[in-house]
A and B are shown apart, each in its own frame.
Chain A
Amino acid sequence: MSTHLITDAHLESPDDFYEALIETHQGLSTDDSHALNARLVLLLANHIGSLPVLREALAAAREA
């Protein structure tokens, strides 16, 4: 398992993913979209598991 955050291209099919991401929000109010995003972050964080990696991700998101 990676001990550092992967920031190089790692998605299997970026365009398919992005389309699915936007479609998931289709028809939601802004509040509902925020809530969905929060749930999504938590689900993905659990999948990653490693706290050091998650801390790197939090920092990278904050910096951008």
Chain B
Amino acid sequence: MKLEQFAAADEAGPLDYQQVEFDYVRHADQDADAPVRRPVVVVGAGPVGLALAIDLAQKKVPVLVLEGGHQLSTGSRAICFAKRTLEVFDRLGCADRMVDKGVSWKVGRVYFGAEEVYRFDLLPESGHERPAFINLQQYYVEGYLVRQAATLPDIELRWKNKVVGLSQSDDGVRLTIETPEGTYELDADYVAACDGSRSQLREMLGQQTQGRIFRDRFLIADISMDADLPVERRFWFAPPFHPGQSVLLHKQADGMWRVDFQLGWDADPVAERQHERIRPRVQALLDSIGHAGAQFQIGWASVYTFACQRMARFRQGRVLFAGDSAHGVSPFGARGANSGVQDAENLAWKLAAVLRGEAPPTLLDSYGSEREYAADENIRHSTRATDFITPKSEVSRLYRDAVLALSKNNAFARSLVNSGRLSTATVLRGSPLSAPDADGFAGAMVPGAAAADAPAARTDGSIGWLLRSLAPHRFNLLVFGTPAESAWADALQDEMNVLRLPLDAAHALAAQRYDAQPGTAYLLRPDQHVCARWRHGDAKTVRAALDRALGRVPAPSLAAA
């Protein structure tokens, strides 16, 4: 179907996203005498490529998305979408639907052997619009993003357009694109490679990812069942029904469940995907939790391996790598798609600023350094979780089992149990775009941190949310106190959005999270990360911080904290 048919069908009622097939449509570019030039070409229409394209188009940068396939994600794949990702999608105007459709959960149970060793209640701190995370099949997230893309005149999506060649010079990139009707060429100022873990663009540039490969295999399957199970995440270490290995059970939308069985390195990836091999494993799991009689169907299934690795540099001239093409992690902690969406939003405002001539092209170097730093953090967390879940030495297993054995009666040991540390926004410490603090501050809103949400009054007086009050595509100057206490900020209205929050009862939580006093000011980048803050600002100092955040002044290279 065509994009507008998809939008109409989706509007009309429940649409089976797994059956949607988008049409290849011939474009005039394919018949042009010379390659047509585009400011930005995004390669790959997964969550990362779509988020980047929407962000750019909303910033009025025309963007072309090339996708080799013509369907949404096959199978549920990434299912955990973290709070920060939902906040990014809020900025893009499409998170409400995801949260409505997705499954919010807060109770987790951890088992060791036959015994439940503890349960945890992941009650997130209150006073945030979005939950810690939701579970939702990737095809819904992609479908909702495609719907949003369809409303934006500056986005063009071309299905069955596979990039098969790439060359770049100092002033542009030339792409060779294969379609059902032959190949054509296109030129681009910049190309975003969002083409996944087996990135063809990475290969075309002769680049590699480096890191640690784990010799283990996992079976992942979507299970629909009629059992009335509580909405809980259950994680088993070495249960009797799957001896010596780990098992995860997690709820998704539409009464679907995700099961994940560790199989070991010697498992046969083709045979284990067969439904007749999966069925007894699921049955054994259901038997053990008292649902032996439940009817279930097996949907998409896959046997995966993983590596924790990344490219050395995410910026390769005019080609920018984002998401799985740039870095890989284990699934434990949901750091794949979630970090990819953070890549996309980091890149979007920088590309837009460079293309508009507001920032020099060297600003794009900071995309690389900031997101390489973030990837290292994600890889570190994901490697640790993997080492805990699948100990690779005798002593590692000894300690793992000791931690689990202690965790039932000794609360401290629970903080060592690692079945995945959930993705949160990376604090971009030491970023060259941030101005170091000159004044004393307490709390978490350090330069480089993603702005925390809190209740905030809307212009009509009702209570909404701080992050929603920010201008979605500009720099924001967040100033606390009365206008009289920050009259200097009025001179900046043309250069940034000035948002004032009174220090009253309605904003007590915001004041606390930002350690605010009368006159306290935060400069937030378009991706909502803090780049500078002051107890008492002035227009000149704020302008200097803005210049720095846009890379207009030389800054020391990014030093990891």
Q: Which residues of A contact B (CB under 8 A)?
A: 6-11, 14-15, 17-19, 21-22, 25, 28, 30, 33, 60-61, 63-64
Verify B384–A7 contact, CB threshold 8 A.
Answer: no
Cβ of B238 < 8 Å from any Cβ of A? no
A25 to B418, CA, bound (A): 19
Verify B395–A15 contact, CB threshold 8 A.
Answer: no
Verify B387–A64 contact, CB threshold 8 A.
Answer: no
1/0 contact string of B281-323 vs chain A (CB within 8 Å): 0000000000000000000000000000000000000000000
Give the interface segment out of B18-26, B88-96, B403-411, B525-533: B403-411
Given that A30-B394, A33-B394 are contacting pairs, would A18 and B408 also be in contact in the complex, using a CB cutoff of 8 Å? Answer: no
Verify B395–A8 contact, CB threshold 8 A.
Answer: no
Contact partners of A22 in chain B: CB under 8 A:
387, 393, 395-396, 399
Cβ of B441 < 8 Å from any Cβ of A? no
Complex A-B: 29 CB contacts under 8 Å? A6-B412, A7-B409, A7-B412, A8-B411, A9-B411, A9-B415, A10-B412, A11-B416, A14-B415, A15-B381, A15-B418, A18-B384, A18-B388, A18-B403, A19-B384, A19-B387, A22-B393, A22-B395, A22-B399, A25-B395, A28-B395, A30-B394, A30-B395, A33-B394, A33-B395, A60-B409, A60-B410, A64-B402, A64-B408
User: Which listed residue, B394, B398, B416, touches A18 by the CB 8 Å rule?
Assistant: B416
A28 to B387, CA, bound (A): 17
Contact partners of A33 in chain B: CB under 8 A:
394-395, 398
CB B411 to nearest CB in A, in angstroms, measures 5
Residues 380-428 of B at the A interface (beta carbon under 8 Å): 381, 384, 387-388, 393-396, 398-399, 402-403, 405-406, 408-412, 414-416, 418, 421
1/0 contact string of B48-64 vs chain A (CB within 8 Å): 00000000000000000
Q: How large is the interface on B (under 10, 10 to 19, 20 to 34, 35 or more residues)?
A: 20 to 34
SS of A interface (majority): helix
Given that A9-B415, A18-B384 are contacting pairs, would A63 and B394 also be in contact in the complex, using a CB cutoff of 8 Å? Answer: no
User: Which listed residue, B396, B406, B408, B411, touches A25 by the CB 8 Å rule?
Assistant: B396
Verify A64–B412 contact, CB threshold 8 A.
Answer: no
A21 to B403, CA, bound (A): 12
Contact partners of A15 in chain B: CB under 8 A:
381, 384, 416, 418, 421
Given that A21-B399, A33-B395 are contacting pairs, would A14 and B409 also be in contact in the complex, using a CB cutoff of 8 Å? Answer: no
Verify B393–A25 contact, CB threshold 8 A.
Answer: yes
A10 to B413, CA, bound (A): 10
Contact partners of B414 in chain A: CB under 8 A:
9
Residue of A nearest to B393 (CB): A25
Residue of A nearest to B410 (CB): A7
Most chain B C-beta atoms within 10 Å of own C-beta, residue among A8, A11, A18, A25: A18
Contact partners of A21 in chain B: CB under 8 A:
399
CB A46 to nearest CB in B, in angstroms, measures 20
Contact partners of A17 in chain B: CB under 8 A:
416
Verify A9–B412 contact, CB threshold 8 A.
Answer: yes
Contact partners of A61 in chain B: CB under 8 A:
406
Contact partners of B415 in chain A: CB under 8 A:
9, 11, 14
Given A9-B412, A63-B409, 5 other A-B residues pairs in contact with their CB atoms under 8 A: A8-B412, A17-B416, A18-B403, A22-B396, A33-B395
Residue of B nearest to A6 (CB): B412
CB B536 to nearest CB in A, in angstroms, measures 34
Residue of B nearest to A36 (CB): B395
Contact partners of B381 in chain A: CB under 8 A:
15
